[in-house]
Amino acid sequence: DELRSVEPALREAISARVARGKVECRLGISRVAVESAGGLNLEALARLKRLAADVAGELPGIGALRTIDVLGWPGVVDAPVADPDALRAAVLAALGEALEALTASRQREGAALRDILLASCTAIDAVADQLKLRVPDLLGAVERKLVERLEQALGRSLAETSVLSRDEIADRIRQEVTLYGLKMDVDEELKRLATHVNEVRRVLQAGGPVGRRLDFLMQ
């Protein structure tokens, strides 16, 4: 309750440093024992004594309260009322340290992830470059195999029905091979892939909260 008045300032400070994500902030007060610490609240101590007696009556075997248990019971020690301005300053200073540590941790993690993604981009480029060199040979091999199969299939049809001439069969084979070659051509896909890889590098170079953009590119 003592920290409730500081909540708006905490929200503002966190929002200024964290652009994305959900943040949970838990605060607790740890007071240092000083000469000005409050004394015992005799009324609260009397209530605790009665409660302890009631518990002992119901549970005869239970151990006695220790001094540390008594002093830790809420209200037994009259704590001095904290200066609101000093408390606010202390809380914001502690939050500043926590945010600095959080930022440093996220920067280290982000740098590691950036290196991993850049290495993946380099590996993708290497595979794409190898594929570009092999595409003509791969297409040629596929086309030769296709021509062979079509000649066998249409050759049997010509021999059995004599409906198609050899020129018509050859023309049909060329059409099928050309159509299949267009379907097999991955040049457009390779160019699109290169564009996406370059965009990933640009986004990583720009820095900042780029997770959402990267997630879109990965999809």
pLDDT attached to residue 166: 64
- Residue 148 binned pLDDT confidence (cut-offs 50, 70, 90): confident
pLDDT attached to residue 182: 66
pLDDT attached to residue 33: 54
5: DSSP letter: G
Q: Give the tens place of pLDDT for each residue, 70-86.
A: 888 877 877 666 678 88
pLDDT attached to residue 203: 94
- Residue 59 binned pLDDT confidence (cut-offs 50, 70, 90): confident
What percent of the chain clears pLDDT 90, i.e. is strictly above it? 28
Q: How far is the C-alpha of 153 from the C-alpha of 140, rounded, in Å?
A: 20
pLDDT attached to residue 209: 80
pLDDT attached to residue 113: 92
The answer to whether 124 and 193 have CB atoms below 8 angstroms apart is yes
More confident residue, 21 or 38: 21
Q: 3-class SS at 107?
A: helix
pLDDT attached to residue 43: 87
CA 52 to chain centroid, in Å, comes to: 50
Q: Per-residue pLDDT averaged across 162-181, rounded?
A: 67
More confident residue, 57 or 100: 100
Q: Per-residue pLDDT averaged across 11-26, rounded?
A: 88
Q: Per-residue pLDDT averaged across 171-188, rounded?
A: 71
- Residue 114 binned pLDDT confidence (cut-offs 50, 70, 90): very high
Q: Is the pLDDT of residue 35 over 60?
A: no
Q: Per-residue pLDDT averaged across 87-105, rounded?
A: 92
Q: Per-residue pLDDT averaged across 84-95, rounded?
A: 89
Q: Is the pLDDT of residue 162 over 60?
A: no
Counting beta carbons within 10 angstroms of the beta carbon of residue 39, is it exposed (0 to 12), middle (13 to 18) or buried (19 or more)? exposed
Residue with tokens 């929200």, as numbered in its chain: 11
- Residue 117 binned pLDDT confidence (cut-offs 50, 70, 90): very high
Q: Which residues, listed in sequence order, are joined to residue 40 by a DSSP beta bridge?
A: 77
